[in-house]
Amino acid sequence: MNKNLYSPLIFEHTHKGRKGYALPDYGKGEICLPPVLLRSNAPELPEVDEPTVVRHYTNSSNNNFGVDTGFYPLGSCTMKYNPKVNEAMVSRSGVANLHPAQPALSVQGALRIYRSLEKYLSEIGGMSEFTLNPFAGAHGEYVGLRVVRAYHISRADEARRKVLVPDSAHGTNPASAAMAGFEIVEVKSRPDGTVDMDDLQSKLDETVAAMMMTNPNTAGMFEYNIPQIAEAVHAVGALMYYDGANLNPMLGIARPGDMGFDVMHINLHKTFSTPHGGGGPGAGPVGVRKGLEEFLPNPRVTEHDDGSLAIEFGEDAFGRVSSWLGNFTVYIKALAYILSLGADGIAKVGPLSTLNANYIMNSLKDLYRLPIPGPCKHEFVFDGLIDKSTGVTTLNIAKALLDYGFHAPTIYFPLLFHESLMIEPTETENIETLDRFIEVMREIANAVVYSPEKVKNAPYTTPISHPDEDEAALNPIVKYEDLHHEAL
Ligand SMILES: *Cc1c(COP(=O)(O)O)cnc(C)c1O
pLDDT digit string (tens) for 16-62? 999 887 777 666 667 788 889 988 998 889 999 999 999 999 988 88
- pLDDT: is 277 or 397 the higher one? 397
Residue 77 CA to ligand 1 center (angstroms) comes to: 7
pLDDT, one tens digit per residue, over 227-268 is 999 999 999 999 999 999 999 999 989 999 999 999 999 999
Quick check: CB of 136 below 6 Å from ligand 1? yes
Among 133, 143, 170, residue to substitute to test ligand 1 (most atoms within 8 Å of Cβ): 170
Atom of ligand 1 nearest to the CA of 246: 15
Among 221, 267, 269, 322, residue to substitute to test ligand 1 (most atoms within 8 Å of Cβ): 267
250 Cβ contact partners less than 8 Å away, ≥ 6 residues apart: 215, 216, 244, 256, 350
119 with 286: CB under 8 angstroms? no
Ligand 1, atom 5: closest residue by C-alpha:
137
Quick check: CB of 282 below 6 Å from ligand 1? yes
How far is residue 31 CA from its own chain's centroid? 39
* Range from 23-37, 67-81, 140-154 that averages highest in pLDDT: 140-154
- As a whole number of angstroms, the distance between CA 267 and CA 273 comes to 10
Residue type, 267: N
Residue 172 CA to ligand 1 center (angstroms) comes to: 7
Ligand 1, atom 14: closest residue by C-alpha:
245
Coil, strand or helix: which one is 405?
Answer: coil
Residue 487 CA to ligand 1 center (angstroms) comes to: 36
Q: Is 441 left (phi over 0), alpha (psi -120 to 50) or beta?
A: alpha
Atom of ligand 1 nearest to the CA of 78: 15
251 with 426: CB under 8 angstroms? no
Quick check: CB of 271 below 6 Å from ligand 1? no
- As a whole number of angstroms, the distance between CA 322 and CA 133 comes to 6
Over pLDDT 90: what percentage of the chain? 76
Residue type, 415: L
Atom of ligand 1 nearest to the CA of 267: 7
Atom of ligand 1 nearest to the CA of 136: 7
Least confident of 4-13, 61-70, 338-347, 397-406: 4-13
Quick check: CB of 322 below 6 Å from ligand 1? no
Quick check: CB of 137 below 6 Å from ligand 1? yes
Q: pTM of this prediction?
A: 0.89
**Does the structure show a pLDDT above 90 at 435?**
yes
Nearest alpha-carbon partner for 211 in 148, 118, 156, 302:
148
Gyration radius of the chain's alpha carbons: 25
Distances (CA, A) of 396 to 226, 406, 465: 37, 14, 11
**Does the structure show a pLDDT above 60 at 304?**
yes
Go through the chain and tell me how many residues it has.
488
Distances (CA, A) of 266 to 93, 129, 139, 147, 270: 28, 13, 11, 15, 9
